[in-house]
A and B are shown apart, each in its own frame.
Chain A
């Protein structure tokens, strides 16, 4: 069991490393959206500060959504997914490894970049740890929920719009909690409640989403 997880991780790592474009796309999108905002709305620090949490969270959310569309598609098209489904190893575990790998390449990288963009958007230094923490708890939820949609739309030629329609409503609680925590931090109020809620959702997604993803892929493969 441990061996298959490790081998799958190595395989995903190699695949990502040999096609670095796919790896960079969501990060470039994230950076572009966040850095265009100050140019569009003006460099007034107080305005930037009030907008910053929303801009960073929406950019992270859309970047994740964009990158998830193709998560399972190439494996579906070349027949790899059939072999996964047929394997005696639990499919839910394998998709969990795949999604976590994807999160490390996109979500975790955004968590590391976000404080930098926070500074650019005039956020006070004291609020940056909160930004990183909420993104650290929130982006895995975005990746896991999005992967459920990606699994359900895997057989469709262009599932991008359908994926967005399916998944965006589920992203809204995460968005509200994430930006709510930042607003509270900016006003000097405690953020523990928001962080605990995000943690709850993250644990819930981590537990249940792999089962839903596996079920979705089984349907996709049997089409």
Chain B
């Protein structure tokens, strides 16, 4: 599916009668990587949740290819286009890595087991396919969630702190994968406290300075 531009139009967010950000406008073209930065409590996660469609904005609109993602066909289309991996990785401790991935992918489109095994190998979990996830470390559980990036076909990725608990080699592999996705015309929106200055073509949105 051909990615389309994402446009934020004077988006605002309010939590508990406190304004986190207001009149946030931004145009993102396919192939861009946007890092949302800012101090704790500046609304990074809220912005990502609004973009994913989990949280309604208090004002403003967001458009994907010209259609609002908050209503009508635009919302249905957006559901097929974006992949959101939140702070909580949605990995069930009682299920194995393979079962977790099979279910999470089936929520948008079922995938074959061979592909799941390949994806697990790519995130360095070869040999852990059949281990219940509560026996894995925090970093390994995060890797199970991130294996979805190798499996699913969504053009837009929304990632909340994807590097949490991941070791240096894992971070480098993930950075490469994100850049490859952008090079294929995908769009990546992510928050991280990890510096991305060394990566070419990463745009930064500092919510601390917007306010």
A86 and B94 in contact (CB under 8 A), knowing A18-B132, A79-B89?
no
Whether the Cβ atoms of A88 and B84 lie closer than 8 Å is: no
Whether the Cβ atoms of A84 and B94 lie closer than 8 Å is: no
Q: How large is the interface on B (under 10, 10 to 19, 20 to 34, 35 or more residues)?
A: 20 to 34
On chain A, the residues within 8 Å of B55 by CB distance are 222
On chain B, the residues within 8 Å of A18 by CB distance are 94-95, 132
A82's partner among B56, B82, B84, B102 (CB-CB below 8 A) is B84
Tally A residues with Cβ within 8 Å of B.
23
On chain B, the residues within 8 Å of A14 by CB distance are 94-95, 99
A84 and B91 in contact (CB under 8 A), knowing A7-B102, A18-B132, A222-B54?
no
Contact pattern, B 35-61, Cβ under 8 Å of A = 1, otherwise 0: 000000000000001001111100000
CB proximity of A100 to chain B, nearest CB, Å: 18
Contact pattern, A 1-35, Cβ under 8 Å of B = 1, otherwise 0: 00110011001001100110000000000000000
A83 within 8 Å of B by Cβ? yes
Residues of B with Cβ closer than 8 Å to A? 49, 52-56, 76, 79-80, 82, 84, 86-95, 99, 102-104, 106-108, 110, 132
For this complex, 21 residue pairs linking A to B, each with C-beta atoms less than 8 Å apart, are: A4-B107, A7-B102, A7-B106, A7-B110, A11-B95, A11-B103, A77-B88, A79-B89, A80-B92, A82-B52, A82-B54, A82-B88, A82-B90, A83-B90, A86-B52, A86-B84, A86-B107, A88-B76, A88-B108, A89-B107, A222-B49
